[in-house]
A and B are shown apart, each in its own frame.
Chain A
């Protein structure tokens, strides 16, 4: 019995050993498999997974740079940053966020609805990422929050920077405003991803955004899996943006803006001829950049955007108007310089001009009679300039227009600048798919037809005629006076045109003598285009300032661009402030012209 059992036992034992070997093999294979897998991950995959652990661990926090300030030409502060206090909650530190928020609401009013929204917003992000509850707190509220801090777990206050504008609506178009970064622009800049980051959206804030913005800093922090900051690894401080000084005289600008409130839609530009600096640039109606920076209500913003008056549009650089008769001076200059017209030559105006079967009427229906170029400018005679234009041809007219700064942008640094239009046959073929008509040459010579110019371009045109140099406008102050290139027109031709423009304003029968300043004041020279456009300079003898005014829709029936220009120049002269006192010696670029004798 025992032997049998023992035998059985042995038989079972042998089988057990065989099967144990097989099972042991399976076990060895299993351990081998995980061993190989570990090898695959740790040795072969090391290069792939190592950086992933670093990505996990290190969180780069971008620190927003402080935006540069904006000053006017006389160092007056136009835009800077103010601190606004904020209160935030870190849900991971507050045991019961809504309870804590209800206690906060005794200091900072919060409705139940707002509390629910904040809790929902906080829930979407990491438990240790703070969520803003409210900003723009008063100092008292911050003090109270800090006083009750022990009973408000997870609540913290800090401050953010907000843009502040000092000059109100008068400078809003020039200084511009800032806004959140658009979604599409976010990708190229980590700083732009910060919710509090603001970038320039208009005016100098946009044009000088690169200077003003500064460089973001980086804080490298080690975080745990919940996003809680463990320690600071490295901080690269943000570099604040550079301050920008503009060429505008903010006080004069404000006076001009006040004067222009009378007009419905209008724009004015005043340039310092020697430097090209924009002293005044006004556009009505306007808006308040300060209100936009402070967080404008959606409805108010919509009103600004959708208003027919387009208050956000800076008409001085983005409004395009037919220059009309104001352009005659360019046609005259081109004619004199090309030799198709001489100063002594007289052309008969009978009130109409026949050209290839069509008849063009002069504004004076019974005709000006026999006119010299000086008299034609003074009287704004269409027939005279039809003849000059016809002699010149479109190519030479267009070239002269472009030489005067029309038909192209000068990138003054305000963003939305428009190029206007100097038409020629190439342009017409390319854009309207039609051939140039001879009559269109005449219209162009009169500043009508397709021709379009911005007020800034008209001011540049006046500045170039006044100086004979290729004045380039700027709004950011340059170091030293620039040396503008001489324009390719004869000095005598310029001189004749300038004298004609002086006659327009100062002669008894000048076509825009309402632009004349009061007795004892400097002499103004200029040329109007109908009642809506005026371009000129002063003083006529040694020009320092060029001015252009455009009235798109006057506030009353008597409003003319020439009157507006007179009022603006009067303000500038009357102030006798730094605007006139601080002129750099570059003001003498223009050779003095003797206006003592009246031409005629």
Chain B
């Protein structure tokens, strides 16, 4: 039974030599990622008033280490990652479930687990594991069965359980990200479009239920988002100051290290979630356009990578990783420009912070391994 379900025998047929693997790595993609990390380093240098401390240096170091890990991961056989998919998902799920009991609280929400020297957010691990588990699931499902109700319900469960758990923390941003990520993978895997239409209607109908289930501070964020003037010094402060920073940047920007909004601490979380406001203030619309273009290029390259793979797990994993990048970038930029409420989503590879960097780079590593091994010898 297992053999018949495994539709990828051929792709694992011939072991690749190390030089072949290195040759197959998408180096331009890693270069693009490095460019983004470089933008991050420069901006972090600027927001600390022209110093590599406390953020720029660590950010660079972290990226370089993760870059090495990505290359190392790319050399690991794809079936290793495939076998890890379900266990990783289960571990992530278990940790998410444990957060309310062993997690440490920060800013009124329990999201972190402290494990000695490292603390991490299980929801971050889940972002990787969800993509892997869904890719693994659809890899196994025969095409004619994708549309069967049972095979709709199972991936919905795979998505739904972590969504439910993260909403308890509460971490609305991650929950939304899981939903978007999971649904786009289901879409790519070929789930019939009628289910999406039905799902859309159901979602609309359930909005009032979601609203009543939200925490007060979440409701407040949504309200403030809908009307930022309501609370310009409280919850609306982030958005207002971020908009001021962007607007003050204009077309050309105020120049490197010249942004008063960041240098004088008006923009909150300027080194993490709101780093793009600083880029916008100092480099202007020109800089923002460039930034968006680099992300667009990165995502495009990954989506193209996915097309070149025959292995279904490989292409779903790559596209899932691309989608993760896209969602991060989209939600973050939409947040700092006031299009969506403030949720804790950083700007990939630019924002300071180990957790998101690790998640995204490991995702990139799996994608790269998929790209290296997922093609049938045609390189």
Contact = CB atoms under 8 A, between A and B. Distances in A.
7 contacts: A8-B143, A9-B8, A16-B189, A34-B329, A35-B288, A53-B248, A54-B260
A235 interface: no
A24 B302 CA distance: 11
A38 B251 CA distance: 10
Contacts of A12: 143, 190, 312
Contact of A56 (B7, B264, B315): B264
Nearest to A49: B247
B190 A16 contact: yes
Helix, strand, loop or mixed for chain A's interface? helix
A56 B260 contact: yes
Given A15-B190, A49-B246, A222-B264, 6 more contacts: A16-B189, A16-B306, A24-B303, A38-B333, A57-B266, A225-B265
Contacts of B250: 42-43, 46, 50
A483 interface: no
A16 B188 contact: yes
Contact of A24 (B249, B281, B300): B300
B323 interface: yes
B1 to A, nearest CB: 15
Nearest to A226: B265
Contacts of A48: 247
Interface residues of B, number: 55
Interface stretch (B53-61, B69-77, B291-299): B291-299
A30 B264 contact: no
Interface of B: 7-10, 142-143, 184, 187-190, 241, 243-251, 260-261, 264-266, 280-281, 284-285, 288-289, 292, 295-296, 299-300, 303, 306-307, 310, 312, 315-316, 319, 322-323, 326, 329-330, 333-334, 337-339
A5 B7 contact: yes
A52 B247 contact: yes
Contacts of A599: none
A13 B190 contact: no
Given A37-B334, A46-B250, A225-B266, A31 B188 contact: no
Given A42-B288, A49-B248, A27 B326 contact: yes
Contacts of A53: 244-245, 247-248, 260-261, 266, 281
B264 A225 contact: yes
A433 interface: no
Given A16-B190, A19-B188, A38 B264 contact: no
Contacts of A17: 307
Interface string A35-76: 101110111011011101110110000000000000000000
B257 to A, nearest CB: 14
A16 to B, nearest CB: 6
A223 B265 CA distance: 9
Interface residues of A, number: 45
A20 B306 contact: yes
A53 B250 CA distance: 12
Contacts of A8: 7, 142-143
Nearest to B291: A38
Contacts of A30: 326, 330
B285 A38 contact: yes
Given A27-B299, A46-B250, A53-B245, A34 B188 contact: no
A43 B251 contact: yes
A485 interface: no
A52 to B, nearest CB: 5
A56 B261 contact: yes
Contacts of A33: 330, 334, 339
A16 B303 CA distance: 11
Contact of B339 (A31, A37, A43, A223): A37
Nearest to B340: A34
B177 to A, nearest CB: 13
A19 B251 contact: no
Given A37-B334, A39-B285, A50 B248 contact: yes
A49 B319 contact: no
Contacts of A15: 143, 190
